[in-house]
Structure 1
């Protein structure tokens, strides 16, 4: 049985378009000390997704944590193509936003960030791991489209 793609509204944080397989984090992540930008893996001890790669994924992370240095680690991961293709958050985060903006300005690599409300976050966090998502964000609106076709 196949289903039509589902679209979710989002608030723009950083403009761009990105797509990939979804990865819902089970806990917040600090890129500073918690992510190896060169290897492209979560290295934070005890993190539920420790050892997983964010490369080319649509990262669903409700909230970030950690140091302002997370911006530089995220920008470097994006430069090296070991970072996410797009980020969806429940809370806007300036530090994560700066990392994506820096990567866009310095390296010409664009990773959009969209923020969603609690109800949308709940729906997105229940999608099957690895489902393909497309995140489209401009200055006025954002959308997240899931392709639920079997």
Structure 2
């Protein structure tokens, strides 16, 4: 059952489903996320101590080194990647990382997702067609 459908821009194709893990802090995958576990290891990040594995990770945009693309790839190879990602405005580091790792990614949602989606909501990200669906709430 679909509760809400939100149109977005498609960045990385595929479909992912899972519980939302959301932050208004940008993410630098190099130094913020442990590629072996998927845990947020930066003590200054809002999600410190949480794991991104199998989540729908919502964050405004990526930052930092281009090596972040390869950290996303390592996360995927290690079975610790998010099921999908949603950005407010994706940039090349996250976009390339999602594409080479086959992680569905959309951006530019047509609503303020931080007001519509809450942590723990079940969401489907469809990167092939450019939308997300909230399928259940906490």
Q: Would the TM-score normalized by the shorter structure come out above 0.5?
A: yes
How many pairs were matched up? 137
Mapped to 1, the partners of 2:93 and 2:24 lie a distance apart of 20
Tell me: CA distance 1:149–1:71, structure 2 relative to 1, closer, same or farther (3 Å).
Answer: closer
Mark the runs of 5 or more structure 2 residues left unpaired by the alignment.
Answer: none
Mark the runs of 5 or more structure 1 residues left unpaired by the alignment.
Answer: 104-109
Q: Return the offset for 1:26.
A: 2.9
8 Å Cα contact 2:33/2:41 also seen in 1: yes
8 Å Cα contact 2:19/2:121 also seen in 1: yes
Large movers: runs of 4+ above 4 Å: none
Cα-Cα RMSD: 1.7
Q: Return the offset for 1:23.
A: 1.0
Counterparts of 1:80-91 in structure 2 under 5 Å? 80-91=78-89
Q: Return the offset for 1:38.
A: 0.3
Query: Which residue in 2 is equivalent to 1:58?
Result: 56
Query: Which residue in 2 is equivalent to 1:107?
Result: none
1:35-88, Cα deviation, whole Å (9 max, x unpaired): 101021011121111010000000111111111010111110011111111010
